[in-house]
Structure 1
Amino acid sequence: MIAGNGVEMNLPNKLTIIRVCFIPFYVFFLLSGMFGDAGKYIATILFIVASATDWLDGYLARRDNLVTDFGKFMDPLADKLLVSSGLICFASMQLLPAWIVIIIISREFIISGFRLVASTKGTVIAAGWWGKYKTVAQMIMVILLSLNLNNAAFNVLEQIFIYLSTILTIISLIDYLVKNQDILKEGSR
């Protein structure tokens, strides 16, 4: 099925769009306070379901040979929007230091800008393995912080994933820039 703008809206692409649509509901239940502790559990479930669509859309796209340029571009963007929404919420809730949020979101802006430059040259750059590891670590971190269970063992686990996510964010940025440095060289001509 082709949408009005020529983008093929196959099942993997639809799942990516659904992931983006989950974001306002996730933020609402996480921050509204209207539902007491149930709100954070609902938000966590929404985040987990949205995160599962990330795995499912990639699996279906590869299995059924439905990989599209739209999917290569929009899938990582949907992940960034979902995770960044959680990070901003956690900073406002004082569960996550602002400097970590800035590092993680800055990396996402840098990579998105880099992808934009590449796309003007007709190149679509898919996510690499370090970026995928980073995304998984960030999604686990967001789940843990969404639950915010506030016990000693859980707090240690949260801290491990906060710092692991930050480290993988930096490594994946360096890896991405090194592997795709030719795009920057071409952009400077």
Structure 2
Amino acid sequence: MERPSPTSESARAAQEPSTRPVRTLNLANLLTISRLVLVPLFLVVLFLGAGDDGWRLLAAGLFAVASVTDQVDGWVARRYGLITDFGKIADPIADKALTGSALVGLSLLGELPWWVTIVIAAREIGITLLRFWVIKHGVIPASRGGKAKTIAQLVAIGLFLLPLPAMLDPVRWTFMGVALVLTVATGLDYVVRALRLRAVGRRASEHDGS
């Protein structure tokens, strides 16, 4: 009987999904944690740089670095199979901490109307609470619309952080308008998905208990 070659065994093993448990403390989650660590540093630089273009550029740079980790950690998690429940919860929380701190900071500095901050913050806090409300029935993963919303918010906030001339204000507000529309639309979508998940979970519980 011919024995399979080591090469064919290796190829077959590479095609088969790994059954090994994924460690919570992995590269993707470390990137998420680093984004949370950058938030207070970003705020300190933002307020120290009030009225100073150099400090504002540094604040915008820190915000950009933290924003990049948001894109990289998701790619790393999917590419290397490092998706964990911790990451599914911590990643959106880190996103909200970053965008929320930037929005509140800009509003406190009088550079962004409070109503913009309130609309976005109310949506983000509400969705976070909604995730915990249905967590015993399952985790709601980020949708494509949610990812587009996050990118739109990051770009819009980045433009407000940069010390740009007043003539570019229409550009800033165009991006912020898109971010606001996506924020509200995806918020409604998450509410519908959460209600469906909870309904399915409750029916499953009732069926198991019968």
- Measured in 1, the distance between the counterparts of 2:130 and 2:50 equals 40
How far, CA to CA, are the matches of 1:188 and 1:36 in structure 2? Answer: 55
1:91 aligns with 2:107: yes
State whether residues 16 and 53 of structure 1, in contact with CA within 8 Å, keep that contact through their aligned partners in structure 2: yes
Mapped partners of 1:151, 1:35: distance in 2? 14
Task: Please say if residues 31 and 69 of structure 2, whose CA atoms lie closer than 8 Å, have aligned partners that are also in contact.
Answer: yes
Gap regions ≥5 residues in structure 2? 1-22, 204-210
**Count of residues paired in the alignment:** 182
For 1:82, the aligned partner's letter is: L
Say which one has the larger Rg.
2
- Matched-pair identity in %: 38
Which range is displaced more, 28-37 or 15-24? 28-37
Deviation of 1:101 after TM superposition, in Å, equals 0.7
Residue 157 (structure 2) aligns with: 142
Please say if residues 137 and 201 of structure 2, whose CA atoms lie closer than 8 Å, have aligned partners that are also in contact: no
Are 1:130 and 2:154 an aligned pair? no
Deviates more, 1:179-188 or 1:14-23: 179-188
Q: Check if 1:161 corresponds to 2:172.
A: no
Aligned 8 A contact 1:117 1:183 in 2: no
Residue equivalent to 1:68: 84
| Contact 1:30/1:43, CA 8 A, preserved across alignment | yes
Give the TM-score taking structure 1 as reference length.
Answer: 0.89
TM-score by length of 2: 0.81
Distance 1:183 1:141 in 2: 32
What is the alpha-carbon distance in structure 2 between the residues aligned to residue 168 and residue 13 of structure 1? Answer: 26
Tell me if the contact between 1:20 and 1:78 (Cα under 8 Å) persists in the aligned partners.
yes
CA offset digits 1:153-176 (Å, max 9, x no partner): x21111111211111110011111
Tell me which residue corresponds to 1:116.
Answer: 132
- Determine the C-alpha separation between the residues in 1 that align with 2:162 and 2:170: 14
Work out whether residues 134 and 197 of structure 2, in 8 Å CA contact, stay in contact via their aligned partners in 1: yes
The one-letter amino acid paired with 1:174 is L
| Residues 107/24 of structure 1: CA separation in 2 closer, same or farther (3 Å cut) | same
Following superposition of structure 1 onto structure 2, how do residues 16-27 of structure 1 map, counting pairs within 5 Å?
A: 16-27=32-43
Q: Structure 2 CA distance, aligned partners of 1:164 and 1:122?
A: 32
Match of 1:172 in 2: 186
Separation (CA, whole Å) in 1 of partners of 2:76 and 2:88: 13
Structure 1 unaligned spans of 5+: 1-6
Match of 2:59 among 43, 68, 77: 43
Instruction: Determine if contact 1:29/1:35 at 8 Å carries over to the other structure.
Output: no
Deviations 1:22-52 (A, max 9, x none): 0111111111138922111001111111111
The two structures, once aligned, show a CA RMSD in angstroms of 2.1
